Structure 1
């Protein structure tokens, strides 16, 4: 007997589940399905990604649907197009033996006319993203005033993505006596607010502990200098030849850049982010599911639609801004009872975030050293040997054996093995033989510049002539350098340049994110300075530091800084192959302020 039949599901749904190959319900399914079948109730269910939440709400929803009525009875809201389509597909699979059942997906990036046509033909269940759903309600294409069930899937992520207003507007137009089922991986205050405002004495089901990470996932971190992130990523990939991974970046720009670097370096990689069309996203995801792509570089938003089994590693190329987001990332691996690894590449200044995440997920990270080139070569060589051992012989080559034997005549078995493996080994050996060890930033703080106490002061080549004052420049820096509300202070703006301060532990982040920053087509240049922010005095001489270019001390700032700038004077990373390297060097004249300072 299929264990799903013991949960109270009807024969049609049990048969569909059996066809899909499911025999034993997951913990969230065991807890949620009987409850939702027996009672008309509101529900808050907390469970990690990959625990079977879609079946937990989809199966009881379908059992409640009256297919003889053309009225929309169920609404499922999800954060992204990919997840919307995934849920729709699963609901259709669960309901394939229910004659006359109609499920429609409503999401942005596709024809609203086609979706409206499907709705007009009748939709018992609508699966939608909040933005497109709100638009169709406003156009009076969809009527949800009589729905009986409303499900919020990945509620925490929808709110993290800024859909709070859309969700509250949608829920405000639904009946008070409907059943609302909220499914989430974590329980931040925004989710609790939704539950309190729109739900009536909801039951709560928790699988595991609130906000904890998946139990089958181990967590590791690797501490490197800010410019060594990409080189570290390559080493992690090369040290795990069978890697099938999702690599997370904070921004769309970084996601595309990292994917392009990996492809250039010969990896089967692709990017998925919000700037791709739906057709492009579908192509990438199909390639990933077929394992034609083994390294998928993604933003957090785009990754919400990734439901792929057997992902071996999640690599946090950059940590997320919100700690709760890490739970979603790591939940991409270690699914369906399998084990997985979540790796984090951090700089010294980000270490405190590791401790914060540990408190949230109730698990400890293990600090690991990046493998050396010699270790990687050994791993790759043994992996190749095992692959050869497991390869089934293709007897189509038998006809060519006499010619092959003639060519290789005179070589011993040992010599042939050496020649065969040298072909593959040499590629890695040549790359890593001159690669230095990627060192963890030293504990003595030498990777950081001199600062005023716990502050660091910078020069930036933007000023009044670029239409900035201290307030607008402060906002610009906060947004582009990913600094918090109070992360930028002591902003002094002159005609063609300015100064600003951050906390000392933000220096790595500032220089890393500033490497490709431009304003109106001009390279934005940020450097350390000895200026003390003394309000109204002449700017002091700037110093080098933090691995950046140095400016000449000149004569105490007595000469005026040239306004003309030839060429690209910004900081550059290394080659695509290494993903990092020393920036350019060269002296620059000292300067003097040409206008009165404006300061905060």
Structure 2
């Protein structure tokens, strides 16, 4: 279905045209008309189906820009997912003058969020814990709230947010539109829907049995003590530009990421007990390819959604088949073929049998002996050509990517644009990738010069 057939406002259609979004995905085509009509909805679709735009476009269409009061609230399980959803709302709403979108998530200072709420906003995206905190402080005015979206509701329930979600919904107007998106539909989701929705429309986008057909799945069997060396060989053989490696234990994440770095691989780890600022820096470096391999547990990896992820590796096979499908679903998007590698030990055979039963197809077994032997010449083959600089100003300081690019490539910076990589603007910080050989020069010139006419704090993130 063409977006022009969905009765969206001209500014939204203009943006969709600029982004070259022409045809709606199945979840978008089936849910947008329901949401535009103001009806409650339960949408069931996997990650990567386009569900964020499915609820973002109706939210933006129904927002009254002349009323700077909170009209839409989206609850997400993690701060990273909040940032992604808010970014999509801002991107799709960039032709809506004066649109204000807030992120209300834990792991960030409370005071700036309180100040932003006092100034007023149209839409907010938050985690249940922080939103409930703001409600209890009477800082969040829900009287004009027209729509509440529960994004990845099953994961929020799995993470123990049920009571928080119920208390938040109980504090919103009974006339609100309640939208619930979930990858699965367990009894807990059905109970939540019965309690807080009014005759919801149910939309389910069926997938073909098993994993997406554009993901090549290869499984290698070895002894547990041989897994780190095998992982290094696999990474060097397949040469992914970006790879996400899943482990089942935090201690494995720390040990494996350290071992990969010592082997010359551009890698870092993500653990659930990391400080939020450190986690943000690791994710920024992964998104801009200063880190090519990110090692994480399922808990720490929640909310990670990186464009064009070349490979997913199951260093440890997950206990549940659903977790396997969710992990590998992060690769092979946007028409590109993905790669999923699994490292199995003899003890994993029972899990593999259950996984193959759920997938409806056997995993493709590959022989370790068929891999090229790893020689000294392969060292450094998975190093990154980029380094990351962090600038102490962001979106709320009116920082734009062009300001940073101009500072680096202008007369004072002197760099060629080809030596500047991805620029990411967050609320109070900005990250920029710079060619590895020029990072010291770029760092000094940014520190000596000015960005937007002001001296800024600039740090090398390592």
When normalised by structure 1's length, the TM-score is 0.59
Structural mapping, 1:550-569, within 5 Å: none
Determine the structure 1 residue equivalent to 2:119: 121
Deviation of 1:63 after TM superposition, in Å, equals 0.5
Report the Cα distance in structure 2 between the residues aligned to 1:300 and 1:61, rounded to whole angstroms: 30
Structural mapping, 1:127-206, within 5 Å: 127-206=125-204
Determine the structure 1 residue equivalent to 2:230: 232
Deviations 1:305-361 (A, max 9, x none): 322222121111123344322222111101112221222222222222223233444
Secondary structure of the corresponding residue to residue 82 of structure 1: helix
Report the Cα distance in structure 1 between the residues aligned to 2:210 and 2:182, rounded to whole angstroms: 12
Matched, 1:68 2:53: no
Report the Cα distance in structure 2 between the residues aligned to 1:328 and 1:270, rounded to whole angstroms: 21
Higher relative contact order (CA 8 A, sep 6+): 2
Report the Cα distance in structure 1 between the residues aligned to 2:291 and 2:172, rounded to whole angstroms: 42
Task: Answer whether contact 1:244 1:312 (CA < 8 A) is retained.
Answer: yes
Deviations 1:557-587 (A, max 9, x none): xxxxxxxxxxxxxxxxxxxxxxxxxxxxxxx
Determine the structure 2 residue equivalent to 1:266: 264
Task: Answer whether contact 1:239 1:371 (CA < 8 A) is retained.
Answer: no
Structural mapping, 1:383-532, within 5 Å: none
Determine the structure 2 residue equivalent to 1:399: none
Closer/same/farther in 2, CA of residues 152 and 214 from structure 1, 3 Å limit: farther
Report the Cα distance in structure 2 between the residues aligned to 1:325 and 1:7, rounded to whole angstroms: 34
Report the Cα distance in structure 2 between the residues aligned to 1:260 and 1:375, rounded to whole angstroms: 22
Closer/same/farther in 2, CA of residues 195 and 116 from structure 1, 3 Å limit: same
Residue number among 207, 210, 223 corresponding to 1:209 in the alignment: 207
Report the Cα distance in structure 1 between the residues aligned to 2:196 and 2:346, rounded to whole angstroms: 43
Task: Answer whether contact 2:237 2:372 (CA < 8 A) is retained.
Answer: no
Task: Answer whether contact 1:244 1:295 (CA < 8 A) is retained.
Answer: yes
**Higher mean C-alpha displacement, 338-347 vs 261-270:** 338-347
Matched, 1:6 2:5: yes
Determine the structure 2 residue equivalent to 1:25: 24
Secondary structure of the corresponding residue to residue 302 of structure 1: coil
Matched, 1:35 2:38: no
Report the Cα distance in structure 1 between the residues aligned to 2:146 and 2:254, rounded to whole angstroms: 42
Deviations 1:234-272 (A, max 9, x none): 222122123521001123332222111111111011112
Residue number among 234, 245, 248 corresponding to 1:247 in the alignment: 245
Secondary structure of the corresponding residue to residue 306 of structure 1: coil
Closer/same/farther in 2, CA of residues 235 and 89 from structure 1, 3 Å limit: same
Determine the structure 2 residue equivalent to 1:223: 221
Deviations 1:514-571 (A, max 9, x none): xxxxxxxxxxxxxxxxxxxxxxxxxxxxxxxxxxxxxxxxxxxxxxxxxxxxxxxxxx
Task: Answer whether contact 1:48 1:214 (CA < 8 A) is retained.
Answer: no
Deviations 1:119-169 (A, max 9, x none): 111121110011111111122111335422111112222222222222222
Report the Cα distance in structure 2 between the residues aligned to 1:243 and 1:57, rounded to whole angstroms: 31
Deviation of 1:212 after TM superposition, in Å, equals 5.4
Report the Cα distance in structure 1 between the residues aligned to 2:98 and 2:314, rounded to whole angstroms: 45
Closer/same/farther in 2, CA of residues 117 and 41 from structure 1, 3 Å limit: same
Report the Cα distance in structure 2 between the residues aligned to 1:264 and 1:270, rounded to whole angstroms: 11
> Structure 1 stretches of 5 or more lacking a match?
385-600
Deviations 1:277-303 (A, max 9, x none): 333223222222222211111222332
Task: Answer whether contact 2:34 2:201 (CA < 8 A) is retained.
Answer: no
Secondary structure of the corresponding residue to residue 181 of structure 1: strand
TM-align CA RMSD: 2.6
Determine the structure 2 residue equivalent to 1:15: 14
Report the Cα distance in structure 2 between the residues aligned to 1:374 and 1:69, rounded to whole angstroms: 63
Closer/same/farther in 2, CA of residues 358 and 165 from structure 1, 3 Å limit: farther
When normalised by structure 2's length, the TM-score is 0.76
Closer/same/farther in 2, CA of residues 243 and 30 from structure 1, 3 Å limit: same
Matched, 1:303 2:325: no
Deviation of 1:65 after TM superposition, in Å, equals 1.1
Closer/same/farther in 2, CA of residues 5 and 274 from structure 1, 3 Å limit: same
Task: Answer whether contact 1:213 1:363 (CA < 8 A) is retained.
Answer: no
Closer/same/farther in 2, CA of residues 378 and 263 from structure 1, 3 Å limit: closer
Report the Cα distance in structure 2 between the residues aligned to 1:190 and 1:322, rounded to whole angstroms: 18
Task: Answer whether contact 1:48 1:213 (CA < 8 A) is retained.
Answer: no
Task: Answer whether contact 2:34 2:41 (CA < 8 A) is retained.
Answer: no
Determine the structure 2 residue equivalent to 1:284: 282
Report the Cα distance in structure 1 between the residues aligned to 2:45 and 2:231, rounded to whole angstroms: 30
Report the Cα distance in structure 1 between the residues aligned to 2:313 and 2:356, rounded to whole angstroms: 17
Report the Cα distance in structure 2 between the residues aligned to 1:366 and 1:90, rounded to whole angstroms: 36
Deviation of 1:379 after TM superposition, in Å, equals 12
Determine the structure 2 residue equivalent to 1:323: 321
Report the Cα distance in structure 1 between the residues aligned to 2:306 and 2:22, rounded to whole angstroms: 19
**Higher mean C-alpha displacement, 109-118 vs 61-70:** 61-70
Closer/same/farther in 2, CA of residues 324 and 64 from structure 1, 3 Å limit: same
Closer/same/farther in 2, CA of residues 346 and 162 from structure 1, 3 Å limit: farther
Secondary structure of the corresponding residue to residue 68 of structure 1: coil
Task: Answer whether contact 2:27 2:54 (CA < 8 A) is retained.
Answer: yes
Determine the structure 1 residue equivalent to 2:408: none
Deviation of 1:184 after TM superposition, in Å, equals 1.9
Secondary structure of the corresponding residue to residue 271 of structure 1: strand
